[in-house]
Chains A and B, each alone.
Chain A
């Protein structure tokens, strides 16, 4: 909760400090492919395989050449099948099963991005975001599954590079990476944090 407040405060400072000197006043839509790498407890306890099945996007309002803020969203499908093993079900009860974890993550964030080099052709940026992470967690023992859907907290920090289609264009290609801090306290698990690599396009909506 403390981290959430810090991130919201940082977003607020970025938002309001720049809005008074807004220069652009346009909307920008980012859409792209997302490749995700589980890290920490997510990788060690739930899904160790990377996920090539995802996308990300955002709808941002450009308050100036340097600052934009808006809504970020995405979707990622994680899957891991573990070889047959013996799992305790109780004090004396055991089950031998192939364990499959299938997780669909849908983050919805308040997001802000800062572009430090306004005059340059290539536009590097850093971004911060915080919001909800809707988690659909399906766990199977053999063909017998259980499902849980929860909403958790997610904080995001990222960096990237916008490559305009042509000089002075507000639209272009977009590549980046981010880290998602995603605590998850269900079923004895604690973490769904991940690192992501993205590639897509930024479209200036005017």
Chain B
């Protein structure tokens, strides 16, 4: 393999096979179809095998990227899989949903002049293709099952990626883990938020079944702070507790008419369609609102998912309405591109100032305030400023608000001695993930605010490592 470098010409990256845009805009099947073995090897061979691989620094869980890519070149799927699993327990998920352009691929040296290596797509290829031979290999960085320790148990509250990582890491070391989830299905945002066409539920189910085989127990319909409190768990003898309840409380705009019928939070719309399977109504009972003209407010991943879901639910026209410009959109680039290909319209430099409705209280449209970009704010992004007197009527019969979230309140309210920061998120020791309550840890969106799957996993890993260190 040493001569990989010499034989390489700099080609463009191998395009990802996709479902045709016009067709997929009306179905819920996965959009990106995944590389074949041949495509993966050709793409893997583009990697320069850098001495100081920058890509690895860009990955929050520091996967040995060049290592697994080299294994793909050698057609050593197991080797590639082993390398990824060392630090990432949900690669099939991450390969699909990581914002690679700001993480691993954003740092890839090739990206300076050419297109970066398609690291995410290769990771997905490895995860999807490698048939798990043993559950232990599947979810931990160990190759054998540790003997179960009857005397140790850890509770995770919330079943999103942060908790799943904690569960996988500890269960692989023989510690009994019970995951308490408020909804009726585990997975967190992977199940109730990110749509089927981007992250099939079967992929999440595969990762979950690996955990179950390791002996992790999922207790659904258990609401931390209601059905069971942290105090109860400590009294029941759990040696440590991990809080991974996410930041799912939707923000609204606080503008007139926001409670009209037809105005939804992205969380409600997506939860109905994903968790409630409203895309298969009336086969499933949960309904979603039907609309012709839809306005989506915001431009992050959540907004893109909402817009593309609304198209698939039969809307004739879907527009993203965003205060800044396309360059500032926080969504993954690929998702913006996919949305536009599918026919989602983008209206930049526009902000809603009011909703208005008919006599029955149903949404008829919004008033849009035109904006311009002003000076950069603290975050470095240009601040949108209103252009006086420039407003426009925007008729629509559904509006989906995707302007961010706040911490999930229920557990925090029930745990007054849990230290919070000034934004209301849980305060933790940055080295260990421990909260103000000894042996109670936290990580993911409930600590950082809405972030990414892989950063939630990184936080879970850090806490799990500390828990293991204390218990074993």
Q: Do A and B bind each other?
A: no
B residues contacting A by CB (< 8 A) are: none
A residues contacting B by CB (< 8 A) are: none
